[in-house]
Structure 1
Amino acid sequence: MEDALSSGGYYPPVGFYFKVDFINIGNDNDTRFQSVGGLNMELDVENIKEGGQNLFEHKIPGRSKFSDLSLKRGLLLDSEVIKWVKNALYNREFVPVNMNIHLLNNEHNPLLTWKVFKAWPRKWNVSDLNATENSIMVETLEIAYNYFKVEKG
């Protein structure tokens, strides 16, 4: 019997089963988020003008840039991560931490892990209070960091 990969039966993993670990901060509830955005990386481009060449500019790769992370979840009333965030925002005590963002399979094992280095909180907000809607309170964290690496498993 042919395996699924050789017969063209590969299915990409689903993006809804994941967990977020703040290394040395938080409890089991602090790993559960509704969404994670901003896992992207790009290169700056430096344009070099050459004397006598008016047709084009040379483009060379510059530094890598990583977008801020945006983490959303239902509002937690007791969260070590939010204590870390508030300590930074209120007291200006920034304690960078490493994070792991795991994409999981149906057996709870990591398929891919984004290892995020030297993360610190930039912003914290909660959804609007609205008496005409029946929705949960959602908190959003914006996290700045130096860089990430992606590892299998």
Structure 2
Amino acid sequence: MTNDFFDNGYPPPAFYFSVTIGNGIQVPDTSFSEVSGIGTEIETESVVEGGENRFVHQLPLKMKHGNLELKRGIATLQSPLVVWCKAVLEGEFMQLIVPQTIIVNLKSNTMAPGSTTATEVLRTWEFFGAYPIKWDVESFSSTKNDVAIEKITFSYTYSQRTK
């Protein structure tokens, strides 16, 4: 048996990834330490069949997804992502919310010769119509030597895995 299955990026590492927001240009401040919330499920409705007491039918209703969460070190006020989050979350609906597409790429842990970053994209998820709905700053502690982290939560219309 050949090892092509494992040579083609399986299982992929979870620590090399990139996030692109908006028009596809990788903004320098989109270096995140963690991405979570990638998932989809089908909501179902329980239906009991008359005269049949052994089981309950689970009928599909609609697609359901959670929220996409991105974590990173707290950025400056000049960050394009911070500007967008402030406009949406602190703008008191005075400005139109402009949804963006967020793309998450899971990359290979191997590097091209002469390169300092992983370049081969193994998996890709796209989140359409995304906009920030929550912006948290994790707690500060004088007893730890950790990076100050912010977590941005996004709602989105739908997602698809393209690779």
Instruction: Name the TM-score, length of structure 2 as normaliser.
Output: 0.82
Q: Number of aligned residue pairs: give it.
A: 150
Q: Which moved more, 1:122-131 or 1:94-103?
A: 122-131
Match of 1:61 in 2: 60
Q: Distance in 2 between matches of 1:24 and 1:124?
A: 22
Query: Is 1:104 matched with 2:112?
Result: no
Deviation, 1:25, is: 8.2
Please report the RMSD computed on the Cα atoms of aligned residues, expressed in angstroms: 2.2
2:116 aligned partner? none
Moved more, 24-33 or 123-132: 24-33
* Contact 1:119/1:145 (<8 A) preserved: yes
Report the 3-state secondary structure (helix = DSSP H, G, I; strand = E; otherwise coil) of the residue aligned with 1:76: coil
- 1:51-72 C-alpha deviation (Å, 9 max, x unpaired): 3333332211121111101110
Measure, in 1, the Cα distance between the counterparts of 2:32 and 2:129. 20
Aligned position for 1:133:
144
In the TM superposition, what is the alpha-carbon distance from 1:28 to its structure 2 partner? 3.2
Q: Deviations over 1:75-101 (max 9, x none)?
A: 111311111111111112421111111
- Which amino acid is the alignment partner of residue 138 of structure 2? S
CA distance in 2, matches of 1:25, 1:89: 23
Verify the 8 A CA contact 1:66 1:146 in the aligned structure 2: no
- Unmatched tracts of structure 2, length 5 or more: 112-118
Partner AA of 1:95 in structure 2: V
In structure 2, relative to structure 1, the CA distance for the partners of 1:27 and 1:59 (3 Å cut) is closer
Matched, 1:115 2:118: no
Q: What is the letter of the counterpart of residue 147 of structure 1?
A: Y
Which one is further off, 94-103 or 126-135?
Answer: 126-135
Distance across 1 between alignment mates of 2:139 and 2:7 = 44
